[in-house]
Amino acid sequence: MEPITVTIALHWDTNIVDKPIPAPYTTKVSQGTFLIDIMKKAANEDVDGPFNKYSTTYYGNVGDFVIAMDGVEQDPAKNLYWMIRDKQTGNLTPTGIDQYQPQDGSTTVFSYEETVMSHHERLTRG
């Protein structure tokens, strides 16, 4: 099976997070590779990079969701949450990082957004 090319990226409003947005990471992996394994590959290749610093919370059958990335933590009091989106469609991933499998040519964006519900809450509460 031919490897596929995938990209992962971070995004935030620099008026909310006072630091530059890191460069995206593009790599080749086997079809069916989970997003968490792509993040680990990025972390192993750049131990000081943004994908080496993340925290998750596990939510049963929908999986692990990011609650902190590159030193930026969710802030429910300010309605600031990490969302995981497919860049091409803008849609949220249907599962957490341990279950989501990016497709060939895709860019998965970890986006720090002001919103009333977390990614997990949107999936489970509608």
C-alpha 71/C-alpha 113 separation (Å) is 15
Give the angle subtended at the CA of 106 by the CAs of 101 and 112, to the nearest 5°: 85
The model's confidence at residue 38, banded by pLDDT at 50, 70 and 90, is very high
Higher pLDDT, 60 or 112: 112
The model's confidence at residue 27, banded by pLDDT at 50, 70 and 90, is very high
Give 99: exposed, middle or buried? Use CB within 10 Å, 0-12, 13-18, 19+.
middle
Please report the pLDDT score of residue 125 as a whole number: 84
Contact 39, 80 (CB under 8 A): no
pLDDT digits (tens, 9 = 90+) for 81-101: 999 999 999 999 999 999 999
- Name residue 28's beta-bridge partners: 5
Please report the pLDDT score of residue 43 as a whole number: 95
